[in-house]
Structure 1
Amino acid sequence: MHENSRPVSHQPGRPPRAVLLDCDTGIDDALALLYLCSQPQVELVAVTSTPGNVDADQVAANNLALLELCGRPEVPVAIGARKPLEVPLVTTPETHGPQGIGYAELPAARRAPEARDAVDLWVEAARARPGELTALITAPLTNFALALRAEPRLPELLAGVVIMGGAYYYQGNTTPTAEWNTHVDPHAAAEVFAAFAGQPEDRLPTVCALETTERIEMHPGHLAALAEAAGCSGPELVLPDQPEGQRSTASNRLVRHVSDMLRFYFEFHRHYDQGYVAHIHDYFAATVAAGTARYAARTAAVHVETRAPRLMGTTVADYRGLWEEPPSARIVSANHPDEAFAELVASLGALARLVG
């Protein structure tokens, strides 16, 4: 079992990371992007947009608006695929809202996405900076599968890969056995794991699956702590007995937008009998990519089901080598939610103070 044992710290001196982010923004994707923008040691090389929670154009619009909110207009935003490899696109407005960001109403960005395709951008960046870039995918794996088709050497060219997706011997959140990202494009996921099979352990993708990302369970108290860390003039109370759809009046605009996103997400989880909470899966994956999380991981050969209708997108991990196939992933097996939320509050709070 691998253990990433570097403790979480809010002090300067964290090793630099250059990150390529592919997302389908999405409330938890938005928090992941905001977190990466809050980390001074993280260089965001590009943010690419995959259809999933919403369509690709809306994903790109969300990404551009969030980067502008953070004062990061220099980060390229590109669109790649507009649908999964082989199955029809299914989006999830009931989970993330019609625009993907809950009740938040972000000002439209003053720039458009890059003219070049997201896949070309990733391949060019990886070739130009071999061994330097960490890929973080918090979306269906469509764009990444297409990038691997275009450049099969990506497993060797990238410094690391972090994927949010899958559920291993754990209840799915889309079907009884399948997680959302993998279910949206199971064929892409199958291609990605096949491409990494047999790579050295340190080059295998680190997979943040539901059994650990659902432990990153946000409560209204975390949002109140974020507002306090951001220096808001009053408490930020998002509570279950308040009217659904109530909008934030926080004095800090970043906190206001985050609060409006999360209220929608809290309400969604309550509608599905999970309580007034929010599972912020993609934020945890971002901390792994940024090198700020402690976690343990186990290697396994991964199978993604692409044929059986009721099991489409189901992921199975062979931890014991019973298939006699080489490992294709390192699946996170343990994490530390209290540390993750202390990190989120401190880091986003500092960013909120900076952008106002």
Structure 2
Amino acid sequence: MDHVRLLADCDTGIDDALALAYLCSLDHVWIEAVTSTPGNVDVEQVAANNRALLAFCGKLDIPVLIGAREPLEIPLVTTPETHGPQGVGYATLPDPMSPEPMDLDAVDYWIETARENPGEVTVLLTAPLTNFALALRREPRLPWLLRKVVIMGGTFYYQGNTTPTAEWNTHVDPHAAKEVFSAYTAAAEQGLDSSKLPIVCSLDTTERFEMQPAFLTKLSIEAGCAEPEIVQASDPEGTLSKSSNPLVRYLSDALRFYFEFHRQYDQGYIAHVHDFFAAGVAAGTLDYETRPATVDVETESQLFFGTTVADFRGLWGKPANAHVVVSNDPEAGFAELVQRLGALATKLNENS
């Protein structure tokens, strides 16, 4: 695989945690930093989750930074009912015994890294776009300086997961998302190469990554656990894993909460792992197809607040400002995830 230098921005989050563990399993991905944005939980908890998970995965050298502490214009709304009070379901991790988040502002770090390494850094955004909007305000040349941008957010021809038309990340800070896409419209008008437009992984395709509990059984077998991990819909809520492998145990406890949440909303005992797919796009490990579009975000209407709209046909008369993912391969993606996380789980068990 081509070497990937990555800045990951997340609001960890069960599916963020899964995505981050996956990225830690990839030898060709160099994580420059993990930056924290408020969303699923408040930003201090996000940073704590990031620090703990990176330490758990043997990545103590990766800096964790904090940027914005609230959305640009509206109050922060978190989602403990979806991800648990600490953001990672029933999972717990030991104190990482690593330094507190760096004093350097995450937004400044992004800008400095991009300026010092033009055309080399990929940005993965699986959180509200608050930090990225602030970075674009401070450095309008970021679209030219970055190698690639991958956004998990929005929904187009698909039901929202927060309102009937709005996706969670965009709904938390729609003003930031609108600024980001407006900045890329302006950059496209100034001649930005289309290869540098953000790749948008919306609910239309991320919800195709519908994880079943059997995934954890396959993972435990791949990791060489003493007993296969069995998670069933008939289990009492909050049942904790007894797996012999700490990574399998952690992911099982986190994902069980997610399975229970989706069942509560009549979607079945499943988990939509949106952020893993976006991480695979950023890492270059998952297949997908895109269509160019001009994306905008509604911030005025009460009924459609936070709704993303994509013009695929040029009806607005504006240049494309994004590549919207329109197809992917969940079966191959889950096979990739089992293999990579199984290898990481085995390695961590051997080193413990």
| TM-score bracket relative to the smaller structure | over 0.9
Question: Cα offset for 1:169?
Answer: 1.8
Query: Do structure 1's residue 269 and structure 2's residue 269 form an aligned pair?
Result: no
Q: Is 2:94 the counterpart of 1:101?
A: no
What CA distance in whole angstroms lies between the structure 1 residues aligned with 2:36 and 2:95? 16
Separation in 1 of the partners of 2:109 and 2:225? Answer: 39
Matches within 5 A, 1:232-311: 232-311=225-304
TM normalised by structure 1 equals 0.96
Matched, 1:37 2:24: yes
In 2: Cα distance, 1:78 partner to 1:310 partner: 35
Q: Which residue of 2 aligns with 1:325?
A: 318
1:27 to 2:27 alignment: no
Q: Contact conserved, 1:169 with 1:316, CA < 8 A, in 2?
A: no
Q: Which residue of 1 aligns with 2:137?
A: 149
Q: C-alpha deviations, 1:103-147, integer Å up to 9, x for none?
A: 001112212101111101111111111110000000000000001
The ranges of structure 1 where at least 4 consecutive aligned residues each deviate by more than 6 angstroms after the TM superposition are none
Cα distance in structure 2, aligned partners of 1:48 and 1:72: 14
User: Are 2:193 and 1:200 aligned?
Assistant: yes
* Percent of residue pairs bearing the same amino acid type: 64
Q: What is the distance in 1 between the residues matched to 2:60 and 2:276?
A: 21
Superposition deviation, residue 354 in structure 1? 0.7
C-alpha distance in structure 2 between counterparts of 1:265 and 1:99, whole Å: 13
CA–CA distance in structure 2, aligned partners of residues 310 and 101 of structure 1: 31
1:231 aligns with 2:221: no
Q: Larger relative contact order (C-alpha < 8 A, sep ≥ 6)?
A: 1
- Partner of residue 110, structure 2: 122
Residue in structure 1 matched with residue 179 of structure 2 by the alignment: 191
Deviation at 1:289, TM superposition (A): 0.2
SS for the counterpart of 1:297 is: strand
Task: Tell me the distance in 2 between the aligned counterparts of 1:194 and 1:355.
Answer: 43
Given residue 261 of structure 1, which amino acid in structure 2 is its aligned partner? A
Distance 2:79 2:152 in 1: 17
Counterpart Cα distance in 2 of 1:153 and 1:66? 32
Residue number in structure 2 paired with 1:212: 205
CA distance in 1, matches of 2:264, 2:157: 25
2-side partners of 1:135 and 1:51: how far apart?
17
Counterparts of 1:211 and 1:336 in 2: how far apart (Å)? 13
Q: Equivalents in 1 of 2:320, 2:337: separation in Å?
A: 32
Q: Could you tell me how far apart the structure 2 residues matched to 1:227 and 1:319 are?
A: 43
| Mapped partners of 2:307, 2:239: distance in 1 | 37
CA distance in 2, matches of 1:109, 1:95: 24
Q: Counterpart in 1 of 2:59?
A: 72
Report the 3-state secondary structure (helix = DSSP H, G, I; strand = E; otherwise coil) of the residue aligned with 2:156. Answer: coil
Q: How many residues in Structure 1 have an aligned counterpart in Structure 2?
A: 343
Report the equivalent of 1:132: 120
Q: Deviations over 1:159-209 (max 9, x none)?
A: 000000000121100000000000000000000011111132101000000
Separation in structure 1 between the aligned mates of residue 306 and residue 320 of structure 2, nearest angstrom: 19
**Residue 82 of structure 2 corresponds to residue 89 of structure 1:** no
- The normalised TM-score by structure 2 is 0.97
User: SS of the counterpart of 1:239?
Assistant: coil
Q: What RMSD in Å do the two structures reach over aligned CA positions?
A: 0.6
Q: Which amino acid aligns with 1:35?
A: Y
Deviations along 1:79-112, whole A, 9 cap, x unmatched? 0000000011000000000000000011122121
1:354 is aligned to 2:347: yes
In 1, distance between residues paired with 2:295 and 2:213? Answer: 36
- Distance (Å, rounded) in 2 between the aligned partners of 1:187 and 1:112: 30
Q: Is the 8 A contact 1:299 1:329 kept in 2?
A: yes
Structure 1 stretches of 5 or more lacking a match? 1-13
Superposed CA offset, 1:306-333 (max 9, x none): 0001211100100000010111110000
Q: 2:200 is paired with a residue of what secondary structure?
A: strand
